[in-house]
Amino acid sequence: MIAKLQCVVLDCSDPVELSRFYRSLLGGVVNRPDPRWSLDEDWTTLHVEGGLVLAFQRVEDHRPPRWPDPARPQQFHLDLGVADLERAQEDVLRQGATVLDEGDGKRSWRVFADPAGHPFCLVRD
């Protein structure tokens, strides 16, 4: 095992509104303090029973997906928690991932694509 799932992140134009929508469906707590990330108007979380966390990320000029239009596909990514970011990067690259954004070396996360091109982040626990 290289990582553990931290959260599923959905792109949207209004993170607070979308988190409240999902809270009405799933219950849970919006923006519960959590040392893994900072909460603000661009990043909102929903902690639901069982430990699942949904995160909602503001994207400027967000274009909602249109099912099943491939020109406007589904928009989400996984955040995977790792103890050692360097080692996890080596491991996911060996498994077929590609680097999309290594960052500046100071931040606690990096962006990759899976073999089918879906983005995911490795986030230092």
State the CATH number of the domain containing residue 18: 3.10.180.10
* 8-state DSSP, 25: H
Question: Average pLDDT, stretch 39-65?
Answer: 94
Confidence (pLDDT) at 113: 92
CA–CA dist 89, 100 (Å, integer): 12
The first and second tokens of residue 77, run together, are: 């990514």
Q: What's the structural domain count of the chain?
A: 1
Between 29-38, 48-57, 63-72, the lowest mean confidence (pLDDT) is in: 63-72
CB atoms near residue 20 (< 10 Å)? 14
pLDDT of 99 over the 90 cut:
yes
Confidence (pLDDT) at 117: 85
The residues, ordered by sequence, that sit 6+ positions from 72 with a Cβ below 8 Å of its Cβ are 63, 64, 65, 66
**Measuring CA to CA, which residue among 102, 90, 74 is closest to residue 9?**
74
Strand, helix or coil for residue 20: helix
pLDDT of 116 over the 80 cut:
no
Question: Average pLDDT, stretch 77-89?
Answer: 94
Higher pLDDT residue, 60 or 115? 60
- Average pLDDT in the chain: 93
Higher pLDDT residue, 81 or 116? 81
β-bridge mates for residue 77, sequence order: 9
Residue range of the domain that includes 75: 4-124
Question: Average pLDDT, stretch 96-125?
Answer: 90
